């Protein structure tokens, strides 16, 4: 199972090619398929859940990108003895971080709602059950 990286699939010296040659000598066959996580990412992109990610990223950035907000949010989580230490940034370069960030966001949803209310930031999506279900589907 590979992500299609050139170092894995070169026709003469890639890992997959070397494995195929080795297995052919022993009359075995190598099954090839794309990583399921990669397929899930492609499906999520094609379904068009940008409106969900846009709000989540906005909340994460408003909480984590400003030092004072970030420190206050972390202190708030410590005060209520929450197991999660913080929200996770989303990176387009590392697409696996998207799912992890959404999972953590859902775990901390109540805390995020309380914190945003304390900061007088109105985020109507946080009380919209359909939107929250979409976040769960995307994660």
**pTM for this entry:** 0.62
pLDDT digits (tens, 9 = 90+) for 122-131: 888 988 888 8
| Residue 122 structure tokens | 């109105």
Which residue did the predictor score with more confidence, 5 or 14? 14
Neighbour-count burial of 73, counting CB atoms closer than 10 A to its CB (0-12 exposed, 13-18 middle, 19+ buried) = buried
* pLDDT greater than 50 at residue 2: no
pLDDT tens digits for 63-104?
888 888 889 988 888 888 888 778 877 766 555 577 788 888
């Amino acid at each position: 199972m590979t992500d299609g990286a050139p170092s894995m699939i070169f026709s003469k010296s890639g890992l997959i090619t070397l494995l195929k040659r080795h297995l052919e000598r022993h009359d075995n066959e190598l099954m090839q398929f794309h990583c399921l996580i990669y397929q899930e990412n492609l499906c999520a992109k094609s379904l068009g859940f940008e409106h969900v990610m846009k709000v989540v990223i906005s909340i994460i950035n408003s909480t984590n990108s400003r030092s004072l907000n970030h420190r206050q949010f972390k202190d708030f989580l410590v005060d209520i003895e929450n197991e999660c230490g913080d929200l996770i940034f989303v990176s387009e370069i590392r697409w696996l971080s998207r799912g992890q960030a959404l999972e953590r966001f859902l775990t901390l949803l109540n805390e995020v709602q309380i914190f945003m209310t304390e900061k007088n930031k109105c985020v109507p999506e946080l009380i919209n059950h359909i939107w929250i279900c979409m976040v769960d589907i995307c994660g």
